[in-house]
C-alpha cells in the first residue's frame, strides 16, 4: 500500500516545511466547511462526546480528520487556542500521530527560528529545502495577492471570491502549481470584468465566518467587502526574505495589538466605511472585541455565529440595521 503522504493542519502553519518533507498538507478547516453537510460533521463530533457549548470549528475539525482518514497532524500548541490542544489529545488517543508546533509568545525571533528547526527535524526536512520551498510557494501565492488587489482597488472581485482564494492559501489545496494555475486563469477572467458599483465598503475582521451566506447577504444590502483580515494573513501578503521573517509578520497567532496594527494599516489603504468583527461563539477571541472597538475609529458591528448554515433572523436584522445606518 502506498504511504499516506497527507498531513492534517488545523490552522496555517509553515506549509513550506511540510512540502519540503515531501508531504502534503490538508487544511481540515477547509475540508469541514466545504463538505456537503458541515452541520452533520458537528453532529458526528457531538455524538463522539464533544460538548455542545464549545466552538463548532473544533468539532468540524475533529470529524473532518476522521472522514479524511488523517493519521498525522501538525497541532499548534501555542498561538491558536486551548480547544486545539484538547482536540490534539483526543486525536492522539485515537491513534493520530501529533507533531506540535508553537508560535512563540512575543514573536521572539530566536524561539521561532528554533520552532521552525524543530518542525523540520520532526518531518525530516532540511532547513535549506524548506527555504527553497518558500520561494516556490511565494510564487504560487502571488496571483492571490493580485486577486486581493483587484478586490479593493478595482472592484472586479467579490468579497466572497477574495475570501475563498485567500483561505485556500493555507495548504494551496495540496498542489501549489495547480492552485497557482487556477488562480491565474481566475485573474484573467477577473481583469476583463466591469468594475462593480462602489456600494458601502466593508472590512471583515476576525476568524473566517462559519455561516454560509454572510457575503451574499452583505452584497444584497449594498455592501462590498474589500478587506478580509485573517484570510489575507493566510496568503502571506508581505514580501519577506526567510521563513522566520514570514512567520513573524504573520499576525494570526500573536497578540491582538500586533493584529490591530496590521488592521489599521489596511484600513488606511483600503478605506472601508465600516468594520464587521466576526466572532465565533465560545471562542476566546470574543473577549478581544472591546479592544477592537476601543482602537478602531470606524463604526464596528460585532457579529457572532455558532454553527454552519445561513445567518439566523436576528443576525440578518442586525446587518440590515447596520447597513441602513451606514447608508444614511
Ligand atoms: S474559532 Fe476560536 S475557539 Fe474555535 S478553533 Fe478558532 S481560535 Fe479556537
d(CA 240, CA 259): 18
User: Is residue 65 in a domain?
Assistant: yes
Quote the number of domains for the chain.
Answer: 1
- Cβ-based neighbours of 211, under 8 Å, separated by 6 or more: 305, 308, 309, 310, 311, 315
Contact (CB, 8 A) for 232 and 203: no
Q: What is the CA radius of gyration of the chain?
A: 19
Q: How many angstroms is it from 247 CA to the middle of ligand 1?
A: 20
User: Is residue 10 in a domain?
Assistant: yes
Confidence tier at 7 by pLDDT (50, 70, 90): very high
Average pLDDT, the chain: 96
Average pLDDT rounded to a whole number, residues 35-40: 95
What is the model's pLDDT at position 232?
98
Beta bridge partners of 280: 305
The per-residue pLDDT for range 183-202, each reduced to its tens digit, is 999 999 999 999 999 999 99
Among 28, 45, 58, 91, residue to substitute to test ligand 1 (most atoms within 8 Å of Cβ)? 58
User: Is residue 190 in a domain?
Assistant: no
Cβ–ligand 1 contact at 11 (below 6 Å): no
User: Is residue 212 in a domain?
Assistant: no
Confidence tier at 2 by pLDDT (50, 70, 90): low
Cβ–ligand 1 contact at 202 (below 6 Å): no
User: Is residue 164 in a domain?
Assistant: no
Q: Name the residue range of residue 31's domain.
A: 6-126
Cβ–ligand 1 contact at 61 (below 6 Å): no
Pairing of strands 72-78, 24-27: unpaired
Protein residue closest via CA to atom 2 of ligand 1: 283
User: Is residue 66 in a domain?
Assistant: yes
Average pLDDT rounded to a whole number, residues 11-16: 96
Instruction: With a cut of 80, say whether residue 1 has pLDDT above it.
Output: no
Ranking 24-28, 77-81, 225-229, 282-286 by mean pLDDT, the lowest is 77-81
Cβ–ligand 1 contact at 207 (below 6 Å): yes
Q: How many angstroms is it from 42 CA to the middle of ligand 1?
A: 14
Q: How many angstroms is it from 281 CA to the middle of ligand 1?
A: 9
Share of residues in the chain with pLDDT > 90 (%): 97
User: Is residue 101 in a domain?
Assistant: yes
What is the model's pLDDT at position 77?
87
Neighbours of 51 (CB within 10 A): 10
Average pLDDT rounded to a whole number, residues 21-45: 96
Average pLDDT rounded to a whole number, residues 97-119: 96
Average pLDDT rounded to a whole number, residues 239-268: 97
User: Is residue 84 in a domain?
Assistant: yes
Whole-prediction pTM: 0.96
Instruction: With a cut of 90, say whether residue 10 has pLDDT above it.
Output: yes
101: CATH? 3.40.50.11890
Share of residues in the chain with pLDDT > 70 (%): 99
Amino acid at each position: 500500500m502506498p504511504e499516506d503522504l497527507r498531513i492534517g493542519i488545523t490552522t496555517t502553519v509553515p506549509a513550506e516545511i511540510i512540502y519540503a518533507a515531501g508531504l502534503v498538507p490538508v487544511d481540515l478547516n477547509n475540508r469541514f466547511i466545504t463538505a456537503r453537510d458541515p452541520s452533520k460533521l458537528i453532529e458526528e463530533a457531538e455524538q463522539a462526546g464533544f460538548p455542545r457549548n464549545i466552538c463548532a470549528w473544533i468539532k468540524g475539525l475533529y470529524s473532518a480528520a476522521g472522514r479524511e482518514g488523517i493519521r498525522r497532524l501538525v497541532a499548534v500548541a501555542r498561538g491558536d487556542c486551548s480547544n486545539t490542544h484538547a482536540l490534539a489529545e483526543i486525536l492522539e488517543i485515537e491513534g493520530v500521530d501529533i507533531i506540535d508546533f508553537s508560535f512563540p509568545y512575543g514573536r521572539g525571533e530566536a524561539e521561532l527560528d528554533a520552532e521552525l528547526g524543530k518542525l523540520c527535524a520532526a518531518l525530516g526536512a532540511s532547513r535549506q529545502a524548506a527555504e527553497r520551498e518558500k520561494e516556490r510557494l511565494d510564487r504560487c501565492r502571488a496571483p492571490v495577492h493580485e486577486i486581493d488587489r483587484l478586490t479593493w482597488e478595482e472592484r472586479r472581485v467579490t468579497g466572497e471570491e477574495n475570501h475563498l482564494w485567500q483561505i485556500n492559501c493555507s495548504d494551496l489545496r495540496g498542489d501549489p502549481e495547480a492552485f497557482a494555475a487556477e488562480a491565474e486563469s481566475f485573474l484573467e477572467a477577473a481583469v476583463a470584468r466591469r468594475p462593480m458599483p462602489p456600494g458601502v465598503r466593508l472590512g471583515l475582521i476576525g476568524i473566517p465566518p462559519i455561516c454560509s451566506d454572510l457575503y451574499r447577504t452583505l452584497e444584497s444590502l449594498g455592501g462590498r467587502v474589500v478587506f478580509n483580515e485573517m484570510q489575507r494573513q493566510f496568503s502571506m501578503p508581505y514580501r519577506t526574505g526567510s521563513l522566520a521573517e514570514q512567520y513573524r509578520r504573520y499576525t494570526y497567532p500573536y497578540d491582538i495589538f500586533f493584529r490591530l496594527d496590521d488592521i489599521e494599516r489596511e484600513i488606511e489603504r483600503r478605506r472601508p466605511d465600516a468594520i464587521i468583527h466576526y466572532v465565533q461563539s465560545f471562542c476566546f477571541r470574543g473577549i478581544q472585541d472591546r479592544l477592537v472597538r476601543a482602537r478602531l475609529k470606524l463604526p464596528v458591528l460585532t457579529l457572532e455565529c455558532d454553527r454552519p448554515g445561513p445567518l439566523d433572523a436576528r443576525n440578518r436584522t442586525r446587518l440590515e440595521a447596520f447597513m441602513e445606518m451606514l447608508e444614511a
